[in-house]
Structure 1
Amino acid sequence: MTDTLAPSPRPASGAAPAPRGRLPVKALLGLFLAGFISILTECLPAGLLPEMSRTLGTSVSLTGQTVTLYALATALGAIPLARATATWRRKHVLLLALAVVAVMNALTALSGDYALTMLLRFVAGLGTGLIWPLLGGYAARLAPEGRQGRAIAIALAGTPIGLALGIPLGTLLSGIGGWALAFHAAAAVTLLSMIWVLAAVPNLPGQPVESRFTLAQALVIPGLRTILFALTTYMVAHNLLYTYITDLLSSVGMGGQTGWVLFTFGVTSVLSVLVVGAHIDRHLRKLTVSSAVVFGAAALVLGALSGVPVLVYVAVAAWGFAFGSSPSLFIGAAINATQEAADVAQSITISVFSASIAVGSLIGGLLIAGLGAVSLTWAALILLLASALTVIGGRKHAFPPEG
């Protein structure tokens, strides 16, 4: 086990390798755009629910299930789709997935039927199920030795930026030309991203059939289940709070400041990518522990001191900074722990990541109904404590000490 993410020995096809020590920025930007499009498409309806519900003739809560179904499709599709396309050249898979997302976004903009819209969202989620398992390993294979962690951080930075911009962009475009304009714009941006990927991303080979690991073989690799448990508790905690942030803020008299609070979260999430990305290759364990601890402290402040607006902003800023690079940290740990089984391990990790969105939303709804919005913060704190202790205890295989 090395303390950096080991690159695949398979060379890039059709492109010269990056100069020694330099990151292939243009190629990584293509992967970043693919991740950005995925999370943007997933959360886009959240800023459009009132307008979409009027067009589709349903309630806001039912229309909100377009987000849940998308995440569910990604969770269900990641493993089987990754295995079905494992031998395909990587760029071909990425372009196919982006094409699916582009077409589904364009058709969603034209749909006036709820059932059809849900079907289109499910298929779009399957497209994302193809994209997410690719990104971390693709970035690691493109990067020079010793800088794989930073490459993964760049490729996965689309997640916090998509989260930060998805809802505000959707709301802005809806105000200009209706909710359909937001989906047409998403389709257009996806097409532009495909052009960038086609021009800038090397077409790496897939995995030979004889070297493929099964799901069962990957799950018994030392450290992977520990990583998955830490990821699950962390992500469920995040989605408990993020999904119902409006309810939480309303319960403390800050409902009118939701936009500014989410903006604060987005800014510090992006800052996290810049700061953590510079150190992830040498300090992955310390950064992962720190992420869970800082997030836990933010949850504690939101629960105990939520009546003080300035402390709410400070806590949300800390939460955003902790969360921003968490996908890079956990996926980096999974790649590091599984090595030659990294492809299947990533698909498992993405399934867990996406399923945690649905689980967090479900548990959060039950907590609000039974105990009130502030209970979300205490549930998140318990989950984050479990995540931090799991990372700390995973010294041998999951999160080995650096050095």
Structure 2
Amino acid sequence: MKKGLLSLAIGGFGIGMTEFVMMGILPDIASSLDISIPVAGHFISAYALGVVIGAPLMIAIAGKYPPKRILMALMAFFTVGNALSAFAPDYHYLLATRFLSGLPHGAFFGVGAVVAGRLATEGRQARAVSLMFAGLTIANIIGVPLGTYIGHHLNWRFTFMIVTGIGIITLLALRFWLPNLQASPSSGFLKELKLFTRLKPWLIILLTTIGTGGFFAWYSYIAPLLTEVAGFSSNSITYLLIIAGVGMTLGNITGGRLADRFSPINATSGLLLCMSLALMTLTMAAHYKIPAVIMTFVIGALAFSIAAPIQMMMIRAARGSEMLASSITQGAFNMGNALGAYLGGIPLTRGFGYTAPDWVGATLAFSGFVIALAIIAVDRISERKLKTAGA
């Protein structure tokens, strides 16, 4: 791996750890700050809100600067936000610092995806983007379990200190390993916003939100599914999440290769259809331990295999506005997080079993597949128009 890509992957590791570890240390934070677990769940929402708001905001502020300077500034912001979280004295302070920590998330991955594509050799751009996202998936194998263990057995504040340390390491890696690329040509932020007067970017945002919502409808309730339905002990959940994380990592790399070989939209449509089928299969397999473990790996792999293809799809649809569009996609992933968790929880509140969210997830993933078919149709219509105009 090129050192420049490695520096992006390290940053992705830190971002992935701080985003997903909150689910594991939520009870510890709630106890420490003397609040209920549902109230502590606001910290997850605050981070996601920061991602959605920060993606376009940060690009608007920094879009004209060279990518290296932008990435270092974003990572410095991220590092300070997590350092402040480690010393949060109460609920309101931590809520604010979690929001601040989320602001650079989307912009970092958005700019990083464009940089990864520029560092890659021709025909391997999606593969390079997947290497950056590998840091986020590896965080689910190493960083999240480690941070959860430390939060349980030592202090949750140490977990944020570790993330802060990773942020500092990323800053050094960016400083010494990332090449000094020139700033991308820009016609100004307001003119770049005209990108969203076209249909295709909106379809990609919709696909990302709904399609990835299928994954989060499953993943948000994976613990009770594995304990109450499959019959695993609560002590086994950490190891089962590691299995899911391994699947995410391998799927992420595979998705990049598929996008380079078959095109991003073809890879995305096929993978979403497979994810829908896998989630439906899980509703039956979840009653047996070994099949449940296998499907945990498979669904994790399928879910993260669409990350690089979707990112490349948006970048190619946004010539001249690549960093803005790429960062917006990260906001859509987080909207998918909120949508999937919310819709997946509805059948549970109405008394259905813990396989019900998987049916919701299968429906969302299939809906994403349908939207992908619509994007393919839009592309074909555009090609026909170009041929007609050329003739």
- What is the CA deviation profile of residues 13-60 of structure 1, one whole-angstrom value per residue up to 9, with x for unaligned ones? xxxxxxxxxxx7110111111222112111222221222112111112
Query: 2:323 and 2:80 mapped to 1: Cα distance?
Result: 27
The correspondence for 1:133, drawn from 93, 110, 114, is: 110
Residues 215-274 of structure 1, C-alpha deviations (whole Å, 9 max, x = no match): 652123353222222212111111111112112223315352422321221111112233
Give me the whole-angstrom Cα distance separating, in 1, the residues matched to 2:252 and 2:212: 17
Find out whether 1:108 has 2:85 as its counterpart: yes
Among 176, 195, 206, the residue aligned to 1:229: 206
Is 1:314–2:294 an aligned residue pair? yes
d(CA) in 1 for partners of 2:371, 2:283: 23
Contact 1:251 1:374 in 2 (8 A): no
| Alignment TM-score, normalising by the size of structure 2 | 0.89
Q: Paired residue for 2:47, among 60, 70, 76? A: 70
Deviation at 1:336? 1.9
Contact kept, 8 Å, 2:268 with 2:372, in 1: the verdict is yes
For the residue of structure 2 that corresponds to 1:204, the secondary structure is: coil
In 2, Cα distance between the equivalents of 1:288 and 1:206? 29
> What residue number does 1:271 align with?
250
Alignment pair present for 1:361 and 2:341: yes
Q: Residue 247 of structure 1 contacts residue 255 of structure 1 at CA under 8 Å; is this kept in 2?
A: no
Paired residue for 2:368, among 367, 370, 387? Answer: 387
Q: CA deviation at 1:173?
A: 2.1
Deviation at 1:70, TM superposition (A): 0.4
Question: Residue 123 and residue 398 in structure 1: after superposition, are their counterparts in 2 closer, same or farther (change >3 A)?
Answer: farther
Measure how far apart 1:398 and its partner are.
5.6
Question: Is the Cα contact below 8 Å between 2:282 and 2:295 reproduced in 1?
Answer: yes
Percent identity (aligned): 24
Which one is further off, 189-198 or 315-324? 315-324
CA distance in 2, matches of 1:41, 1:211: 32
Q: State whether structure 2 residue 64 is matched by structure 1 residue 84.
A: no
Which residue, 337, 345, 352 being the options, matches 2:325? 345
With the length of structure 1 as denominator, give the TM-score of the two structures: 0.87
Match of 2:159 in 1: 182
Give unpaired runs (5+ residues) of structure 2: 382-391
Distance 1:203 1:221 in 2: 32
Q: Provide the C-alpha distance between the structure 2 equivalents of 1:335 and 1:313, rounded to a whole number of angstroms.
A: 35
Partner of 1:39: 16
Number of the residue aligned with 2:389: none
CA distance in 2, matches of 1:81, 1:143: 25
- Displacement over 6 Å in runs of 4+: none
CA gap of 1:164–1:294, structure 2 versus 1, over 3 A, is farther
**Greater Cα shift, 35-44 or 363-372:** 363-372
Matching residue within 312, 316, 335 for 1:332: 312
2:385 is matched with which residue?
A: none
Deviations 1:71-130 (A, max 9, x none): 111011111221221101211111111112212222211223111011111111112233
After superposing the two structures, state which structure 1 stretch, 281-290 or 372-381, moved more: 281-290
Q: Does structure 2 retain, via aligned residues, the 8 Å contact 1:239–1:357?
A: yes
Paired with 2:11 and 2:181, the residues of 1 have a C-alpha distance of: 16
Query: One-letter code of the match for 1:186?
Result: V
Question: Greater share of helix residues, 1 or 2?
Answer: 2
Counterparts of 1:168 and 1:397, CA distance in 2:
43
Match of 2:238 in 1: 259
Displacement of 1:399: 9.3
Matches within 5 A, 1:136-151: 136-151=113-128
Does the 8 A contact of 2:12 with 2:136 survive in 1? yes
Where 2:319 maps in the other structure, the secondary structure is helix
How big is each residue's C-alpha offset from its partner over 1:288-313, in whole Å with a ceiling of 9 and x where there is no partner? 22321221122102223421222211
Q: Is the 8 A contact 1:43 1:166 kept in 2?
A: no
| Aligned 1:182-261 pairs, distance under 5 A | 182-210=159-187, 214=191, 216-256=193-233, 257-261=236-240
The 8 Å contact of residues 256 and 309 in structure 2, kept in 1 or not, is answered as no
Moved more, 366-375 or 215-224: 215-224
Distance, in Å, in 1 between the alignment partners of 2:196 and 2:140 is: 30
> Would the alpha carbon gap of residues 124 and 275 (structure 1) be closer, same or farther in structure 2, given more than 3 Å must change?
same
User: How well do the aligned residues superpose, as a CA RMSD in angstroms?
Assistant: 2.2
> 352-361 or 236-245: which moved more?
352-361
Q: Kindly state the Cα deviation for residue 214 of structure 1 after the two structures are TM-superposed.
A: 3.7
State the Cα distance separating 1:67 from its structure 2 match.
Answer: 1.7
* C-alpha distance after superposition, 1:297-350 (max 9, x if no partner): 221022234212222112212101112222111111111222223222212212
**How far apart are the structure 2 equivalents of 1:286 and 1:52?**
43
Count of aligned positions: 377
In the alignment, the residues of structure 2 paired with residue 312 and residue 30 of structure 1 have an alpha-carbon distance, to the nearest angstrom, of 35
Farther-moved stretch of structure 1 (171-180 vs 263-272): 171-180
Q: Which runs of 5+ in 1 are unaligned?
A: 1-23
Distance 2:380 2:145 in 1: 36
8 A contact 1:240–1:364 mirrored in 2: yes
Residue of structure 1 in register with 2:4 after alignment: 27
Task: State yes or no: 1:293 paired with 2:268.
Answer: no
Match of 1:315, SS? helix
CA distance in 1, matches of 2:338, 2:311: 19
